[in-house]
């Protein structure tokens, strides 16, 4: 019996200082069936030289202009032929052995369409700052931003991705979160895999680390609620958000303790820069 092919898409744009570590974290996995696709719309910081260095090891390099990260990911997955899909931004990394463990977990959970693992938050230099956990998918909790699935530790069966709407090119800040919603609404079963699979890098220019996307975040929060609940947010929903926040802390005491001792993830780099 043939083993499942794992298709990985990396979107790259002017992050040369991290890109080689990202690429090597995929190529050095101890899993024999990897299809690796890299997408770069026109980096000018030396990223193209790094891509050229490893070009023979990519299944495909898509080096053409696009309409942003979500468009690049759609192009990458349109060329993917594997059984399991995942995507890795050019500043994140997979941990050794992650692919083998994920494929084994899919085999043990034949009904699961999406598996979400956990990650270590690291800084620009690769220092581990704290741990972060994926939450079980829950419609109401997700609508209030209290059910989060860690993007670089998320793996999707091909058929599930094809049932979804793919990545929304108009979403410039949370195309990964919108994909999870699309997967859920199209019938995918989303489960948490209790293992640490990736390094999620937060730095001054990353969307998670920066503090310059507040308007886009607020707009996404409103849109996420509407997509899941089918209505606009009301005054009572502010109270419900607090309730879901408390429920989330009680559900995973490890995550609560990590947040208490080491601080939040959101805007972490921006906050450090200002102190």
* pLDDT tens column, 19-54: 999 999 999 999 999 999 999 999 999 999 999 999
- Token pair of 205, please? 């220019």
Res. 265: pLDDT tops 90: no
Res. 211: pLDDT tops 60: no
Residue 195 lies in a domain: yes
Residue 93 lies in a domain: yes
| Number of domains within the chain | 1
Residue 216 lies in a domain: yes
> Is the separation of the CB atoms in 34 and 5 below 8 Å?
yes
Radius of gyration of the chain (CA): 18
What pLDDT, on the 0 to 100 scale, is given for residue 2? 86
Residue 244 lies in a domain: yes
Calpha distance 199→214 (Å, rounded): 24
What pLDDT, on the 0 to 100 scale, is given for residue 8? 98
Residue-number span of the structural domain to which 133 is assigned: 6-274
Q: What are the tens digits of pLDDT across the range 140-170? A: 999 999 999 999 999 999 999 999 999 999 9
Residue 1 lies in a domain: no
Calpha distance 169→114 (Å, rounded): 21
What pLDDT, on the 0 to 100 scale, is given for residue 271? 39
Residue 222 lies in a domain: yes
Query: What CATH number corresponds to the domain at position 141?
Result: 3.90.550.10
Query: pLDDT confidence of 263, banded at 50, 70, 90?
Result: confident
> Is the separation of the CB atoms in 192 and 135 below 8 Å?
yes
- The percentage of the chain sitting over the pLDDT mark of 90, rounded to a whole number, equals 87
What pLDDT, on the 0 to 100 scale, is given for residue 274? 28
Average pLDDT over residues 103-116: 98
> Is the separation of the CB atoms in 62 and 34 below 8 Å?
no
What pLDDT, on the 0 to 100 scale, is given for residue 267? 56
């Amino acid at each position: 019996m043939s083993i499942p092919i794992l298709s990985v898409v990396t979107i790259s744009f002017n992050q040369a200082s991290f890109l080689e570590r990202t690429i090597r974290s995929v190529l050095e996995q101890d899993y024999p069936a990897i299809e690796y696709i890299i997408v770069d719309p026109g980096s000018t910081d030396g990223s193209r030289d790094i891509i050229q260095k490893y070009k023979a090891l990519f299944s495909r390099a898509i080096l053409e202009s696009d309409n942003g990260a979500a468009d690049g990911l759609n192009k990458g997955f349109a060329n993917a032929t594997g059984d399991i899909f995942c995507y890795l931004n050019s500043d994140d990394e997979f941990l050794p052995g992650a692919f083998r463990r994920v494929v084994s977990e899919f085999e043990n959970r034949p009904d699961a369409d999406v598996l979400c693992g956990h990650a270590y938050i690291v800084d620009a230099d690769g220092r581990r700052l704290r741990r972060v956990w994926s939450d079980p998918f829950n419609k109401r909790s997700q609508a209030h931003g209290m059910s989060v699935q860690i993007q670089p530790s998320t793996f999707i069966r091909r058929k599930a991705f094809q049932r979804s709407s793919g990545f929304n090119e108009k979403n410039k800040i949370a195309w990964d979160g919108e994909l999870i919603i699309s997967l859920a609404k199209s019938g995918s079963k989303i489960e948490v895999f209790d293992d640490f699979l990736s390094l999620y890098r937060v730095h001054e220019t990353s969307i998670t680390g920066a503090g310059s996307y507040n308007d886009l975040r607020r707009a996404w929060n409103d849109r996420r609620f509407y997509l899941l609940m089918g209505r606009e947010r009301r005054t009572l929903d502010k109270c419900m958000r607090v309730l879901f926040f408390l429920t989330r802390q009680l559900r995973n005491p490890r995550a609560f303790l990590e947040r208490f001792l080491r601080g939040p993830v959101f805007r972490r780099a921006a906050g450090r820069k200002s102190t």
